[in-house]
Structure 1
Amino acid sequence: MALGIPVGYSKEVLREEYAIPGWGMAYVIGLALLIECLALLTIGLVRPWGERLPRWVPFFGGRDIPPRAALIPATFGTVALTAIIAVVMLQVLIGVKDDGHLSGTSSTVMVLCYLPAFFWGPLLGLVTYSYRRRHRHLL
């Protein structure tokens, strides 16, 4: 979409409603990068680099990460992701968000592509709970 590929939308809709080409391209790319960074933080709850910063990190490398510094944002993220994605998916599934621009195959493909996101919040909750159990002696 950020590259101007219609992905089910007409070029007029991309231009008028999403400002593509234009600032909308930067927005879509920035949003994708933000989501990827948040996904990496999720992985940090189960990997060693999520407990101790790697040595190559300037100024803070090699230091332990306080468990609360991971638990508080992860818990907030669990609640926020679950709520946001549930509301959006329900709206898409019942047709509330359908503005008439996507239909048929395009709409079905979009829902199928975003369906795994529905599980991100609950799975983040499970990983957060596991992290808390492993670090309860430090809390």
Structure 2
Amino acid sequence: MFDKFKDKITKAATEGFSIPITSKMIAGLIEKKTGEKDIDVHITPEHIVLRGTTEIKKLMLTKKVAFTITLKPVQSDKRTILFQLVHMKPFDIKFINNKLFNRPPFFEYHNRRIKIDFNSWDVVKKVPVGQIRSFELVEGALNIKLSL
């Protein structure tokens, strides 16, 4: 019995733990942290596409603006992944990006780059040790692999 446990730990140390982060999980976290109610996240093998609406207030006027944001993962460091803002519709407004993605410790936005700290996510907290060894976008999920 101890040998089985030892083999599992050894395998996890060499290969790492694979944790899928689904589009639903990302949408739920964004909705929870920003208060937006209609965020839709679609993950393809190349990009993460976020669609939704947000309110813009200017000079006592409030208007709902629909947006589409395309993100591409660039690099990982410890338990964070840095994403490049590839495209934004209808127009690239720093205000919308800040409103959605400047939510420390979960998200940080700076200079068209979004850093997502997965250490603050409950599903990753279940594995208290390790760093992100690799990440991969697949249809419907972002698979991250934690190594010891």
The answer to whether TM tops 0.5 is no
Considering fraction of residues, name the structure with more helix: 1
Higher Cα radius of gyration: 1
Q: Give the TM-score normalised by structure 2.
A: 0.22
Considering fraction of residues, name the structure with more strand: 2
